[in-house]
Amino acid sequence: MEIDQFLIIGFIAVFAGAPAFLHLLKPSGAIAAFFTGTSIWAGFGIKGLFLLGVFFITSSLMSKYRSQRKEKLGELHEKGSARDWAQVAANGGMAAFAGLANVITSDPVWFIVLAVSLASANADTWASELGVLSKQQPISIKSMKRVPRGTSGAISGFGTAASGAGSLLIALTADFLFGLGSGWTLAVLLLGLTGSLLDTLLGAYLQAGFKCSRCNLLTEKTTHCGEATSLVSGFVQINNDAVNFISCFTAAMMGMSLYNIL
Ligand SMILES: [Zn+2]
């Protein structure tokens, strides 16, 4: 192994480890981030790492942005703000898979999978992290009624705009790094946005929703007020991480199909 390869692996380790000290990642999340970074670097080199870095840094900043105000919404979410391995795998797993796949069988289609899955993950992260700060309460796509900010399966104009901006940033960065061309840049933007919308749909119809029997709070948490909550909607096996992974995966598969058709 060359000395500069050691340096890069060290760099990935620092980048994956530092957020754990800042309480952005749990230790399991840092380990998953290290494997994700290493796989992407192995498949796509420094440029791939740079694209991952854009997702990782901007979504971390979004999470920290006005975090005190978001803490009030913490009741709703299954997990706190520090990401564990499942959250990292849900957002970066497809990109890591594309990196390993490109090592085994080099093919331009893996660049599309990398770009689309990161665009989808970024669109979804920006939508949820910025959308909760919207002045207006979002509308549930299931009931068409206004619901509390941060509810899965609900949309707002502000959140949708944030989603489009998140996808656009990844599409433009991927074009800059890999020369996707205008057609594929547009495709990555639209597929990233599609992934984020799919995330909302699955969040509304499939994701487990619970209710606390003591305080009647609707939550994604399996326990509240020191007691187990009861399932009121969706499937108990499908949490937010599963929904994120399925939507990233589906968007990436749509990108692969499009690549094979064209
Ligand atoms: Zn409660």
What are the tens digits of pLDDT across the range 75-98? 566 666 678 899 999 999 999 999
Q: How far is the CA of 224 from the centre of ligand 1 (A)?
A: 4
Residues of the domain holding 142: 3-202+236-261
* 221/32: higher pLDDT: 32
Q: How far is the CA of 203 from the centre of ligand 1 (A)?
A: 22
Inform me whether the pLDDT recorded for 207 exceeds 90.
yes
Inform me whether the pLDDT recorded for 136 exceeds 90.
no
- Whether residue 167 lies inside any domain: the answer is yes
- Whether residue 223 lies inside any domain: the answer is no
Inform me whether the pLDDT recorded for 70 exceeds 80.
no
Helices (H), 65-181: 67-71, 85-104, 109-131, 157-178
Inform me whether the pLDDT recorded for 26 exceeds 70.
yes
Query: What proportions of the chain, in percent to the nearest 5, are helix, strand and coil?
Result: 70, 10, 25
pLDDT at position 222 is 87
Mean pLDDT (whole number) for 30-58: 95
Q: How far is the CA of 206 from the centre of ligand 1 (A)?
A: 23
Mean pLDDT of the chain: 90
pLDDT at position 178 is 94
The b-or-e profile of 11-29 (16+ CB within 10 A means b, else e) is ebeebbeebbeeebbbebb
* 25/98: higher pLDDT: 98
Q: Report the number of distinct structural domains present in the chain.
A: 1
Q: How far is the CA of 223 from the centre of ligand 1 (A)?
A: 8
pLDDT digits (tens, 9 = 90+) for 3-19: 789 999 999 999 888 88
Q: How far is the CA of 226 from the centre of ligand 1 (A)?
A: 8
Q: How far apart are CA 160 and CA 140, in angstroms?
A: 13
Q: How far is the CA of 154 from the centre of ligand 1 (A)?
A: 22
What percentage of the chain reaches a pLDDT higher than 90? 65
Q: How far is the CA of 15 from the centre of ligand 1 (A)?
A: 37
Rounded to two decimals, what is the model's pTM? 0.91
- Whether residue 46 lies inside any domain: the answer is yes
- Whether residue 105 lies inside any domain: the answer is yes
- Whether residue 211 lies inside any domain: the answer is no
Q: Could you give the angle at which helices 240-261 and 182-205 cross, rounded to 10 degrees? A: 150
Mean pLDDT (whole number) for 187-216: 94
> At residue 74, what is the residue type?
G
Q: How far is the CA of 219 from the centre of ligand 1 (A)?
A: 9
- Whether residue 228 lies inside any domain: the answer is no
Q: How far is the CA of 213 from the centre of ligand 1 (A)?
A: 7
> At residue 207, what is the residue type?
Q
pLDDT at position 133 is 83
Q: How far is the CA of 28 from the centre of ligand 1 (A)?
A: 28
Inform me whether the pLDDT recorded for 29 exceeds 80.
yes
Residue with tokens 């979504």: 59
- Whether residue 115 lies inside any domain: the answer is yes
- Whether residue 215 lies inside any domain: the answer is no
Q: How far is the CA of 131 from the centre of ligand 1 (A)?
A: 25
Mean pLDDT check: name the lowest of 8-17, 78-87, 187-196, 208-217.
78-87
